[in-house]
């Protein structure tokens, strides 16, 4: 069960035909997707919604399931926001999530939005206490090593290591970084991301688009030079 998160990420490396831009990781649709964009964009949302409902009835095992489904995205989001203290902030967030679980009402996608909002508040509180600006420059290498499984794929040009991804995202303007993170890491659609950020959907959509475009230029600077296939991550020949 605990390997699932890893496997999901690893699926793209090993299964050549699985479109990583597709449903495996749930990043379907376009950046500027409008009303046609399905609200539940991630493959495990049904499972998550059911787990949350059971957890609200007292099922401890169901809560653990929900935790495992949500935590990778939450942690990824927090890592970009607060850097090395991401685990601590996540722990704070889960305390609040556990405490207020009975208040929540919604489906799996809604749960991801709800938990992201809580995590973000904890992150901002944390940053305020530390009197640190969101974009701290130093990332503890241990944190990064723990974050990503070691892999020879990291050596390949096409692949993208966690450290590098963090570095790139944290270099974006704050609004773009958050919009991108909520979309790509937490898997929220436009309206949900806007709600988390307390901004207009149009503004968030624009920020995400700009951020992704900028990141895209960094990751694939030459037109026409793309990976061997869409969605493959450093698949070595």
Partner 1 sequence: MAERNGGDGPPGHRHGTLDVEARLGAALRAYHPDPEAEHRAVAAFRTARTPGARPPRTRPRDDWRPASPRRSLRTALSLALASLALGGVATAAIGVSGSREAEQGVRRPHPSTTATPPVPVAPSSAVPPSTATPPPPAESGPPAAHPVTVHGTRARCQAFGKTAPRGHALDATAWQQLVAEAGGQEEVAAYCAARNADRPGETGAGPTRGDRKK
127 or 185: whose CB is closer to partner 1? 185
Quote the least distance from Cβ 236 to partner 1, whole Å: 15
Quote the least distance from Cβ 173 to partner 1, whole Å: 16
114, with CB counted inside 10 A (0-12, 13-18, 19+), is buried
Quote the least distance from Cβ 131 to partner 1, whole Å: 26
Instruction: Give the C-alpha distances (Å, rounded to integers) separating 206 from 126, 177, 198, 213.
Output: 27, 12, 15, 10
C-beta separation of 185 from 73 below 8 A: yes
20 or 131: whose CB is closer to partner 1? 20
Quote the least distance from Cβ 9 to partner 1, whole Å: 5
127 or 165: whose CB is closer to partner 1? 165
Among 195, 83, 101, smallest CA distance to 139 is for 83
User: What is the Cα gyration radius of the chain?
Assistant: 17
- Position of tokens 């007292």? 58
164 or 199: whose CB is closer to partner 1? 164
């Amino acid at each position: 069960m605990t390997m699932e998160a890893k496997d999901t990420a690893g699926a793209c490396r090993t299964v050549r035909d699985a479109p990583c831009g597709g449903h495996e990781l749930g990043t379907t649709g376009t950046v500027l997707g409008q009303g046609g964009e399905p609200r539940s964009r991630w493959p495990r949302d049904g499972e998550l919604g059911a787990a949350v409902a059971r957890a609200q009835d007292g099922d401890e095992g169901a809560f653990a399931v929900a935790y495992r489904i949500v935590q990778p995205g939450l942690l990824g989001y927090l890592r970009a926001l607060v850097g090395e203290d991401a685990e601590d902030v996540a722990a704070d967030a889960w305390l609040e999530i556990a405490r207020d679980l009975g208040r929540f009402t919604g489906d799996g996608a809604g749960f991801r939005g709800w938990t992201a909002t809580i995590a973000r508040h904890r992150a901002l509180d944390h940053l305020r206490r530390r009197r640190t600006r969101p974009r701290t420059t130093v990332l503890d290498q241990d944190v990064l090593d723990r974050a990503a499984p070691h892999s020879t794929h990291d050596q390949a040009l096409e692949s993208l290591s966690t450290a590098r991804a963090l570095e790139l995202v944290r270099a974006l303007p704050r609004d773009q970084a958050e919009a991108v993170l909520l979309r790509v890491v937490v898997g929220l659609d436009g309206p949900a991301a806007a709600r988390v950020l307390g901004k207009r959907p149009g503004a968030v959509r624009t920020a995400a688009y700009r951020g992704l475009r900028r990141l895209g230029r960094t990751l694939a600077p030459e037109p026409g030079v793309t990976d061997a296939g869409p969605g493959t991550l450093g698949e070595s020949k």
